[in-house]
Amino acid sequence: MASVVLGIDIGGTNIEYGLITKEGENLYSSFLKTESIESIEELAQNLKEEISPILKKEKYKLHGIGIGAPKGNYLTGCIEFAANLPWKGVVEINPIFEEVFGVATILTNDANAAAYGEKMYGVAKEMKNFMVITLGTGIGTGFFMNGQLQHGSHGNAGEMGHITIDPLGRECGCGRLGCLERYASATGIALSAREKIEFYKGSSSLSKIAPSDITAKNITIAAKKGDPLALELFDDTSKILGKALANITTVLDLEAFVFAGGLAKAKRIITEPTKRYMDENLMEDFKSKVQIVCSSLLAENSAIFGAAALYWNEEKGNS
């Protein structure tokens, strides 16, 4: 009888889920459309109806539930004011899932779930001090220190996307100016492209796209083909990110930064210049000691591994 954890990744578009063994095997996975779900009660009920026949038929034992969600707070078990989800305000998660499924449920934010995933199944298995940085619509970060995921004193640790890098810079959804995620995310690099494209007419393949339609994906594809604007955009982005990571390293002394999310799909085109700029901005004591690597879980459905790892890892920590 296989023991499984229901790993759930709640995103703005899809809610992906899977039945994951402790060894990281995905025995069943599927998804729901986020907008179709009116409440957490409905989500838990729908998932139960979906999962129960499979558990019964395959004789799987459901051990627990791990959930990753934007603004998911580990300490309170609530999703708190998530801008891109249909459920507004503070939304209780854990007690509802625990009542419907009868097993323990752990919630954290999506970046923390990604960090758990890397620790259990990914590139960070052997690491005690590392940070996973998801370079997507925004920047999410989750980090382990001394072998433990750090939640901070109010469950909000790891909001590195909102460190200020330019007090007079781009407007951010958080209401402030010049946050790192407005530059060094998939959204940020696209914004930079729109600023620069007019100077590259004819010399960049990106100039064939309407500026407002340029995405990180377009830029990544162009960069892989050697497009000069695309490469310059990655260099600019890496410079900003590298300087920020030098400051983080100076405080945290990590072994590695693990890049995940859309922009990480550029692989070496982003990791190598970021590493170079980071090292240029580090004190001698720290130089060359910190790796920058890409997630080994970039493939489809990786987020549900992270959500499941959240539960498995926690259980391991408690044993």
Query: What is the binding site for a second copy (CB under 8 A)?
Result: 81, 127-129, 141, 145-146, 148, 150-160, 162-164, 167, 174-176, 243, 246-248, 250-255, 281, 283-286, 289
For the CB of residue 314, give the shortest distance to a second copy in the complex, in Å: 13
Tell me the backbone φ, ψ of residue 40, rounded to 5 degrees. Answer: -70, -35
**Scanning the structure block, which residue is given the tokens 């758990």?**
116
Count other C-beta atoms under 10 Å from residue 247's C-beta. 15
| CB of 218 or CB of 249, closer to a second copy | 249
**Scanning the structure block, which residue is given the tokens 């994951």?**
20
For the CB of residue 288, give the shortest distance to a second copy in the complex, in Å: 11
For the CB of residue 242, give the shortest distance to a second copy in the complex, in Å: 11
Report the sign of the C-alpha dihedral through residues 81, 87, 90, 95, in that order. negative
| CB of 88 or CB of 154, closer to a second copy | 154
For residues 260 and 143, is the Cβ–Cβ distance under 8 A? no
Report the sign of the C-alpha dihedral through residues 162, 166, 169, 170, in that order. negative
Question: What single-letter DSSP state applies at residue 60?
Answer: P
| CB of 246 or CB of 307, closer to a second copy | 246
| CB of 21 or CB of 247, closer to a second copy | 247
Helices marked H in 186-295 — which ranges? 186-196, 216-224, 228-252, 268-280
| CB of 23 or CB of 285, closer to a second copy | 285
For the CB of residue 12, give the shortest distance to a second copy in the complex, in Å: 19
Q: Which residues pair with 3 in a beta bridge?
A: 61
| CB of 129 or CB of 296, closer to a second copy | 129
| CB of 167 or CB of 226, closer to a second copy | 167
For the CB of residue 75, give the shortest distance to a second copy in the complex, in Å: 10
Q: Which of 87, 97, 70 is nearest to 10 (CA)?
A: 70
Give the contacts of 271 (CB within 8 A, at least 6 positions apart): 259, 292, 293, 294
For the CB of residue 163, give the shortest distance to a second copy in the complex, in Å: 4
For the CB of residue 251, give the shortest distance to a second copy in the complex, in Å: 5
| CB of 240 or CB of 303, closer to a second copy | 240
For the CB of residue 86, give the shortest distance to a second copy in the complex, in Å: 20
For the CB of residue 244, give the shortest distance to a second copy in the complex, in Å: 9
Q: Which residues pair with 90 in a beta bridge?
A: 80
Report the sign of the C-alpha dihedral through residues 140, 144, 149, 154, in that order. negative
Q: Which of 121, 143, 118 is nearest to 20 (CA)?
A: 121
| CB of 11 or CB of 178, closer to a second copy | 178
CA separation, residue 12 to residues 35, 56, 66, 157, 301 (Å): 8, 30, 18, 21, 15
